[in-house]
Amino acid sequence: NLEISDEHAVSCTIDSPSPVLLQNQEWITQATDRIKALSWVTGANVALSHPTPRNIQATRSSSLANVGNIIAVSSCKGGVGKSTVAVNLAFALKKRGARVGILDADIYGPSLPTMISPPDVAIRKSTVNPHFVRPVEYQGVQCMSFGFVNSKAAPGAGGKGAAVMRGAMVSKVIDQLVLGTEWGVLDYLVIDMPPGTGDIHMSLAQQVAITTAVIVTTPQKLSFVDVEKGISMFEDLKVPTSAVVENMSYFDCVHGHRHYPFGHGYLTTLQSRYSIPHTFQLPMADAMNISVDTGSPLVLSDALPTVTAVYDDLATTVAQECVKLKHLARVAPELLFDKTRGMVLRFFSTDSAEEIVLSPVDLRARCRCAQCIEEFTGKQILDPTTIQEDIRPTAVQRKVYKMDVACSCADDVGLFMLKGNYAFAVVWSDGHSSSLYTFEHLRQLAKEVQDDAA
């Protein structure tokens, strides 16, 4: 967007990947100086724009179609202040000009309704798409929680109407909350994950492409042990961890001394062991507890400027990491079906591509779901000799979106849709519908095929 006036004044717009980046002003200054350095230029006006984000793994009809980045805030240990960090991170991003949403993914103990105080918490149908509902808005942030859908499940409701559900039902509820909410245009969707590494975490990883994770811990060894499990889980799901936040790290006494009642924690160990690029420390302070109890995020007030500065730093750091991750060469494999060739598996790198052809029978035999492989022994339940020679994929379930998408069996070529960041889901002509092939599984399979050919 470049304009030159009759008086030789230059106006242009620079597309920035995020309004949160600290480099934005630097880019404006550098561009202005370079334009003014031209001898014929009489003036320069440089502005920033932030294009509508596009989720490359979402269809136009998906509720996540215009959600640019998805940030998971997680901890395996309960009671470490994860929800507090998630909420303040979301509003810190909003303060810096980003379009932000927050999803409270804790079905059993939703905390978002307590931590914010919107005047209207009614959940209403979308006027644009009848399949979606509109999120609750607070201070410009789009908010969704099971506590808004079932207010009696929120903290302080006395347990009446609390969520009592099995894992399968919880996964369905999560799907509805994340995929059935009309998020609109968002630069960032912050997901406040529940404690642990259970069904909800797997469901979310399968349904949405999480950009990065922020891990919350405390200085105690027990928290450190649990956090390692969480980091390992995200590694398995191919979700990079951008930062670790150590909450309740210290307190400053009235005499001006800093005290570490729980020791100095394990931030250095976590950072070196898992190559986590950034760490942050948050203190124990009464103002933080008061902000939670009054339903007003700390970053929206001036109660603790030093803590607000930490959250601002966390927000800009995570935003920068999201940009870096999107520009890295992390190209996902492709899995296609060609009627004349079979299963076509393709891998990509920065300077090369590789294609391997498999038979549908072989791929079906490699299914490692609970119906085909004994979970604890690894023994194969499926008898490969019972697989029909003419087996083929009949449909592809794309649960990343609101509704499943099926490829016609008459298609010559069908692309198998991604499950989150790490796997493909396939439905077979023999009726088997739970095949899930991780990228690592496919790479191992490709290596075996190459070794056999050699």
pLDDT tens digits, 425-448: 888 999 898 888 877 788 888 888
pLDDT of residue 437: 82
- How confident is the prediction for the chain on average, in pLDDT? 84
Using the predicted structure, report yes or no on whether residue 34 has a pLDDT greater than 80.
yes
306-327 exposure pattern, b = at least 16 Cβ within 10 A, e = fewer: ebbebbbebbbbbbbbbbeeee
Using the predicted structure, report yes or no on whether residue 299 has a pLDDT greater than 90.
yes
How many Å from the N-terminal Cα to the C-terminal Cα in the chain?
55
Amino acid identity, residue 203? S
Domain ranges of the chain: 2-49, 67-327, 334-453
Q: In what order do the strands lie in the sheet with 334-338?
A: 353-358, 342-348, 334-338, 413-415
Q: In which element (H, E) is residue 179 found?
A: helix 167-179
Rounded Cα distance between 351 and 358, Å, is 24
- Give 175: exposed, middle or buried? Use CB within 10 Å, 0-12, 13-18, 19+: middle
Q: What is the pLDDT of residues 354-391, one digit of tens each?
A: 898 989 999 999 888 878 888 667 789 999 999 999 99
- Give 454: exposed, middle or buried? Use CB within 10 Å, 0-12, 13-18, 19+: exposed
pLDDT of residue 116: 94
Specify the range with the lowest mean pLDDT, choosing from 35-44, 64-73, 268-277, 280-289. Answer: 268-277
Within 35-99, strands assigned E span: 43-49, 67-74
Quick one: which of 293, 370, 369 has its CA closest to 116?
A: 293
Rounded Cα distance between 112 and 119, Å, is 14
Using the predicted structure, report yes or no on whether residue 268 has a pLDDT greater than 80.
yes
Rounded Cα distance between 129 and 113, Å, is 25
Rounded Cα distance between 183 and 134, Å, is 7
- Over range 123-145, report the average pLDDT: 92
User: In sequence order, what are the beta bridge partners of 424?
Assistant: 418, 437
The residue with tokens 């791929």 is 363
**Crossing angle of helices 167-179 and 199-207, rounded to 10°:** 40
Task: Considering only residues 279 and 396, tell me which one the structure prediction assigns the higher pLDDT.
Answer: 279
Rounded Cα distance between 105 and 74, Å, is 10
3-class SS shares of the chain: helix, strand, coil, % to 5: 30, 25, 45
The residue with tokens 């400027």 is 305
Quick one: which of 399, 387, 395 has its CA closest to 426?
A: 395
Contact (CB, 8 A) for 345 and 337 = no
pTM over 0.85: no
pLDDT of residue 422: 61
Q: Which CATH class is domain 67-327?
A: alpha beta
- Over range 100-116, report the average pLDDT: 92
Which segments of 267-350 does DSSP mark as H helices, in order?
A: 267-274, 286-293, 305-327
Structure token pair of residue 306: 């030093």
For the four alpha carbons of 151, 206, 125 and 141, in that order, the dihedral sign comes to positive
pLDDT of residue 375: 63
pLDDT of residue 73: 96
Q: What is the pLDDT of residues 201-233, one digit of tens each?
A: 877 877 788 999 999 999 988 888 888 888 888
Query: Are 67-327 and 334-453 in the same CATH fold?
Result: no
pLDDT band at 58 (very low <50, low <70, confident <90, very high): low
pLDDT of residue 319: 96
pLDDT of residue 440: 74
Contact (CB, 8 A) for 265 and 104 = no
Rounded Cα distance between 288 and 259, Å, is 18
Q: What is the DSSP string of 217-236?
A: E-SSHHHHHHHHHHHHHHHH
pLDDT band at 337 (very low <50, low <70, confident <90, very high): confident
Range 334-453: architecture per CATH:
2-Layer Sandwich (3.30)
Using the predicted structure, report yes or no on whether residue 151 has a pLDDT greater than 90.
no
pLDDT of residue 61: 62
pLDDT of residue 403: 31
How do strand 258-259 and strand 278-281 relate by DSSP bridges? unpaired
Using the predicted structure, report yes or no on whether residue 395 has a pLDDT greater than 80.
no
Structure token pair of residue 362: 């072989």
Portion of the chain with pLDDT greater than 70, in percent: 86
- Over range 310-319, report the average pLDDT: 96
pLDDT of residue 134: 95
pLDDT of residue 127: 87
- Alpha-carbon separation of residue 413 from 401, 410, 438 (angstroms): 21, 9, 21
